[in-house]
Amino acid sequence: MTEKISLNVNGKTHVIDADPDMPLLYALRNDIGLNNPHFGCGLAQCGACTVHLDGQPIRSCITPVSSVADGKIVTLAGLGTPEKPHPLQTAYVEEEVPQCGYCINGWIMTAAAFLRDNRKPTEAQIKDALSGLKCRCGTHASILRAVKRAAVQMG
C-alpha cells in the first residue's frame, strides 16, 4: 500500500508515492534521486545514510518515510556547495580524508550538528560525539584532523 508523502529535502518540497514503512533512505535515493546518503547496513549501525532532520543527525535507513512529517531534511548535498562549502567539507578536502568515501555522510553530518552545538570541543569530546560511526578504510586519523580543523574555523 502506497500513499502520497510530502518531504522537505534541502529546501525543496517533494511529493512521492511510497510505502509509509519504507525507510527514508530509499525515498531520498530512489524517489528524489540524491546520490549522497548511502546504504551501509540498514540497521543504524554505521552512519553511511545519515541526514539531518530539523538539524539533528538521524539514520535514514531505519527512519520510516512517513515519520518525518513536516520536518526539514538536509543531506550532505544540502550542507554546502563548492561555492559555499560547510567548514567540514573544506576541511575534508584540505585533509584529503576519504579513501573510498562511502562513509562520509555519517561523519560529516554527525560532526556538523556536533560542532554547531559545541564550540571549541576537546578531542575526547569529538571522539565521543563520533563514536559508533564506521570507516572501514581506516581514515580515522584524517577524520579527526579534519573535524578539529573545522572546529577551529567554527569556534
Partner 1 sequence: MTRHDSPRNFSRRAMLKTGGALVVSIGMPISLDTVLAIGSASAQNARPPLTPDQLSSYIAVNADGSVAAFFGKMDMGQGLFVAIGQMVAEELDVPFDRVKVIMGDTATSVNQGGASGSTGIQFGGKQMRMAAAEARRVLVEMAAAKLAVPASELIVVDGVVTAKSDPAKKASYAELIGGRYFNIQLQWNKQIGNLLYAPGEAQPKPAAQHKIVGQPIKREDIAPKVFCQEDFCTDLTRPGMVHARVIRPPVAGSTPVRVDESSIANIPGAKVVLDKAFIAVVADKEWDAVKAMQQIKVDWSDATPPFPDQTALFDHIRRAPVRHAETQPKEAGNIAEAFGAAARVVEAEYEWPFQSHACMGPACAVVEIKDGQATCWSGSQKPHFVRDGVARTLGLPMDKVRAIWMVGPGSYGRNDADDCAADAAVIAKAIGKPVRLQYMREQGTGWDPKGPASIHRARAAIDASGKVTAYEFTSKGFSRIDVQTNGSQPADTLAGQLLGVPLVVNDGFGVPAESYAFDNKRMAWETIAPLLDRGSPLRSAHLRDPVGPQIHFASESFMDEVAAALNVDPVEFRLRHVKNARDIAVIKAAAEKSGWVPRPSPRRDQTGNTVSGRGMAYAQRNGTIVAIVAEVDVDRSSGRIFARKFTVAHDCGQIINPNGLTKTIEANIVQGVSRTLWEEVKFDRKNVTSVDWLTYPILDITETPQTIDVVLLNHPELPPTGAGEPSIRPVAAAIANAIFDATGVRIRRVPFSPERVKAALS
In the complex, the residues that contact partner 1 under the rule CB under 8 A are 18-19, 22-23, 26, 29-30, 34-36, 38-43, 45-46, 48, 75-77, 80-82, 85, 89, 92-93, 96-104, 108, 127-128, 130-144
Strand residue runs (E) in 54-118: 56-59, 72-74
Which C-beta is closer to partner 1: that of 40 or that of 121? 40
The type of residue at 147 is: V
Which C-beta is closer to partner 1: that of 35 or that of 153? 35
Element (H, E) at 3: strand 3-9
| Closest separation in Å from C-beta 69 to partner 1 | 19
| Closest separation in Å from C-beta 114 to partner 1 | 12
Which C-beta is closer to partner 1: that of 137 or that of 152? 137
Rounded-to-integer distance, Cα 97 and Cα 56, Å? 23
Which C-beta is closer to partner 1: that of 81 or that of 153? 81
Question: For the sheet containing 72-74, what is the strand order?
Answer: 12-18, 3-9, 72-74, 50-53, 56-59
CB 102 within 8 A of CB 36: no
